[in-house]
Structure 1
């Protein structure tokens, strides 16, 4: 494992993945905060999060059943 971390392309790949995930989380947090500030409703904020998670569940299940046999 140490040999992998000595290779710059491997380190750059994981650094990019980390920064991308961090940016995604800040984006979701910012969008949730935006909805809360605009509407003032925790129900609207929860509804937005529920819609996002429902879409992830549907697409994840569909994608998994599609990619499974491949």
Structure 2
């Protein structure tokens, strides 16, 4: 069930990335697969760190800052 969920999420992210490329928000040369993998890995990493620390509120604090760095890496400059 989790594999199916992640598969569908990956497909959705691919569509969103393609749409952003067409609108010029993202570079047309951006690697979709790597972009999706990095995004999902970032979320998984935040979740795992919060679980291990026993502090799920930590995600709320860290996620916006981490996402800002992620966006800097993929946005069309």
Greater helix proportion: 1
Please state which band the TM-score falls in when normalised by the shorter chain: 0.3 to 0.5
For the pair shown, the structure with the greater C-alpha radius of gyration is 1
